[in-house]
Structures are given as C-alpha cells and as structure tokens.
Amino acid sequence: MGFNISRAGRAVLHVTDLEASRKFYVDALGFYETESDGHHLYLRGYEEKHHHSLLLKKADKAAVEVISYKVYDDADLDAIAEVAKQNNLPYKWMETGEQRALGRALRMQDVSGLSLEFYAEMEQVPSLMQRYDLHKGARIQRIDHLNCLVPDVQKAYDFYSKELGFRPSEYTEDDQGSLWAIWTHRKGNVHDQAFMNGDGPLLHHVGFWLPDPLALIHACDVLASIGMGECIERGPGRHGLSNAFFLYLRDPDGHRIELYFGDYFTGDGDFKPKRWSVHDKTRQTFWGHEAPDSWFEEASTFLNVITGEEVKQEKAKLHLYKPEFTI
C-alpha cells in the first residue's frame, strides 16, 4: 500500500447556534477554543499540538460535513485519490488556504456514502498538556475515534482493510457468521474507525480521550451544575468491547460525543482481533446496564462532499435489533 494513514484527525459538524455549542463544548466539557469567528468554532484537547480536532460551523441545519484522517505525508493524498479513482468514488480537492489552518486536503465519498477527508498538514499550536491551570470540565486530551452506522458492515470493512490499510481489533458476529460491527485502527489502540450495522450512512459519535475515569464523573457534575444534565445520554460505564470507560453526551444540536478512557494496545503485527457474539450483552456494557432507545435510533446525517446535499439513507442489510450496537 503506497500511503500511510496515521489516525483519526478531526470532525467538521454543522450546528445551529454557536453560543449554545460553546456553552456545551467549552464551558462544560472543557475543550480549548483555539479561535473562533461569527461562523466557526475551532476546538482542541489539551494534549493536541494541531490547531483543532473539532470544527463547528454555523448553519441552518445540523449535519456532518466530513470526518477526517491525518496522513503522514502530502504524497499520501495523491495515492488515496488513486484509490478513489479505481473504485469510482466521487472526490474533490481542497487546496491550501481554502480551509483555516489546513493544508491541501482530499475529500471523497466512500463505498458506504460516508463523507471523508484526508489531510497531511495542519497549523501547529503549543500543547497545553501541562497547563493544568487551564484544564477544566472533562479535561479533554485528544480526539480518539469515529463511529458510523452503515447498511453493510462487511462491505465497509472490506474497503477500509483492503484499500485503506485499517486493521481490526474487535468484532461482533451473529450465529451465521455475518459481521454486525467491527472496530478498526491505524494508531495502535482499539479503534480509529468503527462500523455498526444500521440504516445509514450516519455518524453515530465522535470519541475523545480523557486523562482518567474521574474526568467522566466530573463532566457529569459540571453539566448538571449548569443546567445541562439532559445532555447526558448514557453512562458513565465500562464497555466489554475495548474495556474502556465511557460517557455518551448529546450536544445542543443532537450530535453525539463519547468521552472515553482506558482501552489497550493493538499495534503488534501478530495481534489477533477478538470476536464477540451478538448475543453477549456484556460487550456493550460490561456492568450490565442498558442503553436508552435514542442511542440505537438517532445519529447525525452526512452531507455529500460534491453537492453539499444530505446523503441518502439505505436500509440495513441485516435485521436490526438493539444488542447489535456497542461502542
């Protein structure tokens, strides 16, 4: 494979009220505001040395513009463009200067209809990892992963593994051996990109890494203290899959954010992915409590990278039932 994708890089979300978003992301969760204007809010975690990992753009309707991956070198972008050409996938170039803080970028619609972006260069800023005087809320450290609903998980996994070089860490199958969900990685932990069976394509959530489990608890306390307790959707808890602590939140526009800590290393060449049965309920919540209906039924719509219109939804290939979902 002639290119190297390093990790999940950023998400670009459309929101309807920037001030409401600032109260949630900055005041409550503690994201650091790198900069902003009347139409954009650029956010990052304290550990991150790049300009942002979450871009919120003011719009009339909430949606997902793109989910993005960092590559090692600018030449990698040309190689990924060849993958798009060979698979007859729509793509376009975003030249340096078209997007704040970002160099040249490639945007494409993948085989499932997900709106992807790849970039090599982003403006660098000082890490705030040891500026403990600034840390607040959930003390967000960095972006960790992206999780999407797709109508055919096997099709999505085949493309990401064979064409983009993603490696599996854990997966869920039914009794017939059909793939219900899979967690794939580039950076050597449990996942950069997960796929779950469902009507889609939809963005289920963006996951952000925390410094410790107590940050989850503190985030809940802060949200409740400023009258935003209704944003807490699921958790805190521990996943069976990944073994990580989790907390799922909904922002003022309904976009789902996961606060996440404590998975494990998957970077060895002889690492073997772990199989879970779709009937094993401990995989989604190791402690046994169930997720609310909204967690299964609601997610964020993608915008087509060429037309800007909402991506059309397709029905899931496999029969839907709640135990299929996990992290």
Domains of the chain listed by start with CATH number: 5-119 (3.10.180.10), 142-324 (3.10.180.10)
The answer to whether the beta carbons of residues 192 and 184 sit under 8 Å apart is: yes
Each of the 327 residues of the chain gets a pLDDT tens digit; together they read: 789 999 999 999 999 999 999 999 999 999 999 999 999 999 999 999 999 999 999 999 999 999 999 999 999 999 999 999 999 999 999 999 999 999 999 999 999 999 999 999 999 999 999 999 999 999 999 999 999 999 999 999 999 999 999 999 999 999 899 999 999 999 999 999 999 999 999 999 999 999 999 999 999 999 999 999 999 999 999 998 999 999 999 999 999 999 999 999 999 999 999 999 988 888 888 888 888 889 888 999 999 999 999 999 999 988 665 544 444
Sign of CA dihedral 261, 250, 147, 79: negative
Helices (H), ranges, the chain: 18-22, 74-86, 153-162, 214-225, 293-297
Task: Go through 316-326 and write b for each residue having 16 or more CB atoms within 10 A of its CB, e for each that does not.
Answer: bebeeeebbbb
296/315 Cα distance (integer angstroms): 14
208/69 Cα distance (integer angstroms): 15
Helix (H, G, I), strand (E, B) or coil at 116: strand
Q: What tokens appear for 187 in the block?
A: 């950076």
**pTM, full prediction:** 0.96
